[in-house]
Amino acid sequence: MSDFLFTLSKYKGAEASVTIPAYTNTVGERAFASKTSLEEVVFEEGCRGLDAEAFDCCKNLHSVALPKSLWRIGRGAFRNCTALESIAFPRELGTLDEEAFKGCANLRMVAATQKLRHIKRGCFEGCQRLEEFELPDGLKTLGARAFAGCSALTHLYIPEGIKVLEAGVFEGCTSLEEVILPDTLQRIESRAFAGCTKLMQPPFPASLTSLASDAFLGVGEQQD
């Protein structure tokens, strides 16, 4: 079967529902970008990667069934898919690349996987209806602005193993009320929690060695 694996480089159709066949190893860069006719994507088992901007700006895409075989979602793969409301990650998924779901303004529910290791820069930035996201144990990277502007998030448990909270990672999460920091945390960078107006500054772990002066700028300022 491996002789027939290929990259789907460009989709030229206009169907509302598309099935990605099992022999597709990768959905290529911008393969479906800006396909406003697209509403549903179903993957047969076999696909392992989504390249950069594969479904970027598919404004009417509301249903995606990812395959268990998928292990990588590339940069901006679902960026600005504003009709998308939920996504369930397959068990083997290890990396969410930069801006993978940035601007998915109606994304409410994300079912993560315990094998997820890297959430990169701006991954969920501007997902203003995202209500909760359980960061898995074993997570190694939380990139800059990964959850910036996720104004519906209320609580966060940051798992053990995270050493750095990068710049602006939770900036503008205006509903965030509680954050539990890990004992492994060493550095909190600029504006990491800036503008989280409902948040009370959490206790810092003994491991913390570097705290940017503006990391908690505006925290706790919201008036009841």
Residue 156, by phi and psi: left (phi above 0), alpha (psi -120 to 50) or beta?
beta
Q: What is the pLDDT of residues 40-81, one digit of tens each?
A: 999 999 999 999 999 999 999 999 999 999 999 999 999 999
pTM: 0.93
Determine the pLDDT at residue 4: 57
The domain 117-224 belongs to what CATH superfamily? Ribonuclease Inhibitor (3.80.10.10)
Determine the pLDDT at residue 2: 45
Enumerate residue ranges in the chain where pLDDT < 70.
1-5, 222-224
Determine the pLDDT at residue 223: 46
Q: What is the pLDDT of residues 163-181, one digit of tens each?
A: 999 999 999 999 999 999 9
Determine the pLDDT at residue 120: 97
Determine the pLDDT at residue 222: 66
Determine the pLDDT at residue 111: 86
Determine the pLDDT at residue 182: 96
Sequence spans of domains, the chain: 117-224
